[in-house]
């Protein structure tokens, strides 16, 4: 915009003077908000159709507007046009361009709508699209986890509770525990979308429009299931944004838990995993270092997303109906969550896909710390010994082995008999890593055949999530 051109605003007729510089600076949209240009233009197409149905636009004017909106979209995508410093928001920018090109016809587009329903619609469309792109990125991480799990259904590792050695598991089972939690995040995106597939267009400022009387038609044109039931709720509520940010932050928490374990696995103390050089960093002073920075950065960013959720909920608390400018904060929270996840997810997927697992070291560590003690207690219980008594007998055996400096599998027949005569030599066949994991053969257990079945089921479930992400059409233009 040239200095000589008057600043265009979508308001101001009742004011004698223009806004102060301080007000303009505070009121101007964050530059990140202009990513909504394609979605604002999609809403404008649907609104133009509504104005034609209402008789505001002639058929010729409708075609002029639709054609110019198409050119605007192409030029913006190509970087040929951009907002000026005087454009208060995306709506001002696009209306300025349309009016400059079409004159009064461009100005007609404002009839029957408000920035309130425009802003709500733009963000809904954007979030619905991003729910799919994030799902696709999460699926790539999930597939990386499944690839590693498929390679390690027989690889025995220590399982932990309280970060203390507890029972042996196959490493695939441990990886799948993370994959199952992340799968629920994918389900949350789809479930969120079901509640959010309602169009706010037609709500106008808050009371509905006296001109746009068929919001159900524009809703279909924009890929929604239907219009919002209540025009006040349509422009005043942002629970769908808070829920999206919650899903994003819950996903980041699950990524953080996976990251923490990768950080542990790659330490010399664990020695379970070696990261590919392309997914690790070094030290500026210690030449020998190989750091799991992707995992650490992911873990750190989880706190940021949690903060976005807390900040947005605090903003929404106690807001009176209907629209308030406070609601502009919804985009700050949502955009930051999306931008952060779009950085984190590909890096995490690459790190997990390329890491090398030290199977021998995991197996060496698996029985340490008497992780096979439960096998002894279970063996006794299956032979009629009350479990409370079996627990005490096994505890006494562990104490004896500690005193002798041996593991359970190394206990002699004489040692077993001294602890309790019911501890027969045949128990030793059950105090092995392979026997322990094989015994957990119930549904959801760590037995290799059950883990293989779990992998197959999860692959099928992820395929359905991919279909959901790929099937979205969005606006019909």
Tracing tokens 């960013």 back to the chain, one arrives at 301
Asked whether the beta carbons of 201 and 117 are under 8 A apart, the reply is yes
Q: Please, which pLDDT band fits residue 8 given cuts at 50, 70 and 90? A: low
Residues whose CB is less than 8 angstroms from the CB of residue 241 and which lie 6 or more positions away in sequence, other chains included: 123, 127, 312, 330, 333, 334
State the architecture of 116-149+168-365 in CATH terms. Up-down Bundle (1.20)
Q: Which of 283, 412, 441, 476 is catalytic?
A: 283
Using the predicted structure, report yes or no on whether residue 321 has a pLDDT greater than 80: yes
User: 273: which strand partners?
Assistant: 357
The full set of domain ranges for the chain reads 21-111, 116-149+168-365, 373-431
What is the C-alpha separation between 418 and 46, in angstroms, rounded? Answer: 84
What is the C-alpha separation between 233 and 165, in angstroms, rounded? Answer: 52
- Determine the pLDDT at residue 432: 97
Does 471 sit behind a cis peptide bond, omega within 30 degrees of 0 on the bond before it? no
- Determine the pLDDT at residue 477: 58
199 is catalytic: no
pLDDT tens per residue across span 401-432: 999 999 999 999 999 999 999 999 999 999 99
Exposure string for 6-44, b = 16+ CB within 10 A, e = fewer: ebbbeeeeeeeeebeeeeeeeebbeeebbebbbbbbbbb
From the list 458, 444, 475, the residue with the least C-alpha distance to 187 is 458
Could you tell me the fold of the domain covering 373-431?
A: Ribonucleotide Reductase Protein R1; domain 1 (1.10.40)
Asked whether the beta carbons of 373 and 167 are under 8 A apart, the reply is no
Q: Please, which pLDDT band fits residue 216 given cuts at 50, 70 and 90? A: very high
**Mean pLDDT of the 48-60 span:** 97
Q: Which of 20, 162, 284, 318 is catalytic?
A: 162
292 is catalytic: no
H or E element that contains 323: none
pLDDT tens per residue across span 428-451: 999 999 999 999 999 999 999 999
pLDDT tens per residue across span 124-159: 999 999 999 999 999 999 999 999 999 999 999 999
Asked whether the beta carbons of 256 and 302 are under 8 A apart, the reply is yes
What is the C-alpha separation between 102 and 431, in angstroms, rounded? Answer: 83
What is the C-alpha separation between 411 and 401, in angstroms, rounded? Answer: 7
**Mean pLDDT of the 346-356 span:** 98
What is the C-alpha separation between 306 and 301, in angstroms, rounded? Answer: 9
From the list 279, 265, 299, 295, the residue with the least C-alpha distance to 350 is 279
Using the predicted structure, report yes or no on whether residue 12 has a pLDDT greater than 80: no
Q: What is the mean pLDDT of the chain?
A: 95
Per CATH, domain 21-111 is 1.10.275.10: yes
Q: Counting runs of H as helices and runs of E as strands, what totals does the chain give?
A: 18, 6
Using the predicted structure, report yes or no on whether residue 473 has a pLDDT greater than 90: no
What is the C-alpha separation between 40 and 110, in angstroms, rounded? Answer: 13
pLDDT tens per residue across span 357-395: 999 999 999 999 999 999 999 999 999 999 999 999 999
- Determine the pLDDT at residue 4: 39
- Determine the pLDDT at residue 15: 81
Q: DSSP letter for 420, please.
A: -
From the list 408, 417, 422, 413, the residue with the least C-alpha distance to 371 is 408
């Amino acid at each position: 915009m040239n200095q000589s051109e008057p600043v265009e605003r979508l308001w101001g007729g009742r004011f004698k003077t223009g806004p102060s510089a301080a007000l303009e600076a505070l009121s101007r949209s964050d530059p990140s908000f202009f990513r909504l240009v394609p979605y604002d233009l999609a809403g404008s197409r649907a609104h133009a159709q509504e104005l034609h149905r209402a008789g505001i636009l002639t058929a010729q004017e409708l075609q002029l507007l639709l054609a110019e909106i198409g050119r605007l979209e192409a030029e913006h995508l190509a970087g040929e046009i951009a907002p000026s410093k005087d454009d208060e928001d995306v709506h001002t920018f696009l209306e300025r361009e349309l009016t400059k090109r079409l004159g009064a016809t461009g100005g007609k587009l404002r009839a029957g709508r408000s920035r309130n329903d425009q802003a709500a619609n733009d963000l809904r469309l954007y979030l619905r699209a991003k729910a799919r792109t994030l799902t696709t990125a999460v699926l790539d991480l999930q597939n990386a986890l499944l690839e590693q799990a498929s390679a390690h259904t027989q690889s025995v590792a220590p399982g932990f509770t309280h970060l203390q050695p507890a029972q042996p598991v196959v490493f695939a089972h441990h990886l799948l525990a993370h994959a199952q939690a992340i799968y629920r995040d994918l389900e949350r995106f789809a479930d969120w979308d079901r509640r959010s597939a309602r169009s706010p267009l037609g709500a106008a400022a808050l009371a509905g429009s006296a001109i746009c009387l068929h919001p159900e038609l524009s809703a279909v044109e924009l890929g929604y299931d239907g219009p919002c039931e209540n025009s006040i709720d349509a422009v005043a509520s942002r629970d769908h944004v808070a829920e999206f940010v919650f899903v994003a932050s819950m996903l980041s928490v699950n990524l953080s838990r996976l990251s923490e374990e990768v950080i542990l696995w790659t330490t010399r103390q664990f020695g379970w995993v070696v990261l590919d050089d392309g997914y690790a960093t070094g030290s500026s002073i210690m030449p020998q270092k190989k750091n799991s920075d992707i995992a650490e950065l992911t873990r750190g960013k989880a706190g940021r997303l949690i903060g976005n959720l807390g900040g947005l909920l605090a903003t929404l608390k106690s807001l009176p109906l209907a629209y308030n400018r406070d609601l502009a904060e919804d985009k700050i929270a949502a955009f930051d969550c999306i931008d952060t996840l779009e950085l984190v997810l590909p890096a995490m997927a690459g790190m997990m896909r390329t890491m090398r697992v030290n199977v021998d070291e995991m197996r060496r560590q698996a029985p340490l710390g008497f992780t096979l003690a439960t096998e002894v207690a279970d063996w006794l219980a299956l032979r009629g010994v009350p479990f409370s008594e079996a627990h005490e007998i096994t505890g006494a055996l562990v104490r004896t082995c500690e005193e002798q400096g041996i593991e359970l599998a190394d206990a002699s027949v004489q040692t077993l008999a001294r602890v309790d005569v019911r501890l027969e030599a045949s128990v030793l066949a059950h105090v092995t890593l392979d026997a322990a994991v094989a015994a957990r053969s119930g549904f959801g257990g760590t037995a290799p055949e059950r883990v293989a079945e779990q992998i197959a089921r999860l692959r099928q479930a992820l395929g359905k999530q991919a279909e959901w992400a790929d099937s979205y059409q969005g606006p019909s233009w």
